[in-house]
Amino acid sequence: MHYRKLLLIFTLLIFVLPLSAQLPAWYQSTTRLNIRTYPSTNARIITTVPQHTRLKVVEHYDAGWDKLDYQGRSAYASRRYLSFVEVIEPTPSSSSQFSSSRSSKSLSDSGWSWLWIIVGSSLVIIVLRAVLMIGLGLFSGFVFKIYWLVSLPFYCLNALQRFLSKPWRIFFRTNSGSDSRNEDYRTFFEYAKIPLYILLTPLRFINAVYYNLFVHCLFEAFYYLCEVIVPEHSKEGADNLAEWFLWLPVRIIKYPMFHWTLTVIESAIWVIIDTIFPALTLFHGTDSSASASITCSPNRNVISGWYAGLWKVGTGNYAGNGIYFAPSRSTAGHYSSGSLIVARVTLGKVLDLGMAPWHIYCQCGYPNAFGPTDWGLKNGYVTGEWWRGDRKWWEYCMYDWKNRYNYSFRIRPLFVLDISNESIQRIPGGMAHWLFRDIVIKDIINYLGGTHLR
């Protein structure tokens, strides 16, 4: 931690205190804002103030919270919804005024020199930051528009890989009702997949190279650039211009140089794995806060907690208890509340519910259909594929009993779409690593050792 102290001392010597945040200060709410008893979204709400309410901030807390002097009592509010107005100047006593006037007179010449240095340096930093932010905005719009144009052929290749891996799928949208016939179908088609698996190897490789190396690395680079230019965490310069400049070299080393290098390495490794173990690019609809929580790297930035970076079973579960994905963006959009996760998914052994036992198939279409999950896991299936007849679309249910997906490495997010604004949703700190992560390494060890999580 010595380098942190040295950088801080260096910055203070150059910019002194005028560039640092001064408290107490007046801030203004940018929207309707909850005032809470302590710094947590689980804390009791004292009141909700309207937009443009002036609030007295007395202290900055970690994890994006500010301490307020609200009606004579301590309270807390989220910093991201507060905008700086002005510093609250203390009322000086007569003696301090006299002392201050004498000091000002004796230091007037050198003070003005330092002032011009500070003002000039500040303007340079402000202009540099503004240019970088504008460039990032233009880059974001360019990437989003160009990506959909470039990705169209690969979207079709992904769909082709899915279709050719089981071309008989369309004939088993509904169940015949004969358990003996369905058992024969399941056995026969398991063998029929073998030559198709061999023939589709080049196609799997092409899709793996494009999605793992190009798409994943591109969007992770975007997320890391966001952290360099517009950091989310107060400890990395999110709330203070001097600290923004101070931590700029650290952010560059941490995000583009270190984490993006790990991203490229693990993406190359997963190209090989996806070529051997088939994976598809699928879609999962949810809301923006859930997307950020699911895909983030725990404790790397502002999002933390046991739930960060994990997939949790939602409600409904019409084709089994688990995590749901769709091969079509429009299908996942039906379940979305404004956000869409695009991910590489290793489905494993899939139970075609059109060939499942009749009593298992009959449970589908109703909430909390736990039967398919129970029967599937007991018979070696880790995913269910279901044709939802009332909606005319396909869905995948990745079976899960523990509200924590069986193996973390089987779902690997590529990026997150803000479909409400047709833009890329930012993930603070970047997404969790596909390979270089404790839970993934533990799951791989468990998998290779034959320890199953169901």
CA 258 to centroid of chain Cα atoms? 18
Q: Are strands 65-70 and 54-61 parallel, antiparallel or unpaired?
A: antiparallel
Over residues 425-453, the mean pLDDT reads 80
Over residues 429-445, the mean pLDDT reads 85
Single-letter amino acid, residue 273:
I
Q: What is the pLDDT of residue 122?
A: 63
pTM of this structure: 0.70
Q: What is the pLDDT of residue 454?
A: 42
Cross-strand partners of 57: 25, 68
Single-letter amino acid, residue 30:
T
Residues 6+ apart with CB under 8 A from 438: none
Radius of gyration of the chain (CA): 27
Sequence spans of domains, the chain: 20-91, 132-448
Q: Is the pLDDT of residue 268 over 90?
A: yes
Over residues 323-340, the mean pLDDT reads 92
CATH class of 20-91: mainly beta
Residues 6+ apart with CB under 8 A from 416: 291, 292, 295, 339, 340, 341, 342, 424, 425, 427
Q: Is the pLDDT of residue 351 over 90?
A: yes
Q: What is the pLDDT of residue 254?
A: 92
Q: Is the pLDDT of residue 275 over 90?
A: yes
**CA nearest neighbour of 255 among 296, 217, 226, 285:** 226
For a pLDDT cut of 90, what percent of the chain falls above it?
A: 39
Over residues 269-286, the mean pLDDT reads 95
Most confident of the ranges 140-154, 269-283, 409-423: 269-283
Residue with tokens 């009593």: 359
Q: What is the pLDDT of residue 109?
A: 53
| Token digits of residue 321 | 């208890």
Residues 6+ apart with CB under 8 A from 415: 215, 216, 219, 342, 424, 431
310-314, 322-326, 392-396: range with lowest mean pLDDT: 310-314
Q: What is the pLDDT of residue 304?
A: 63
- The DSSP element (H or E) to which 397 belongs, if any, is strand 393-399
Q: What is the pLDDT of residue 312?
A: 81
Over residues 225-244, the mean pLDDT reads 83
Residues 6+ apart with CB under 8 A from 64: 78, 79, 80, 234, 302
| Token digits of residue 444 | 């791989």
Residues 6+ apart with CB under 8 A from 42: none
Residue with tokens 């969007």: 219
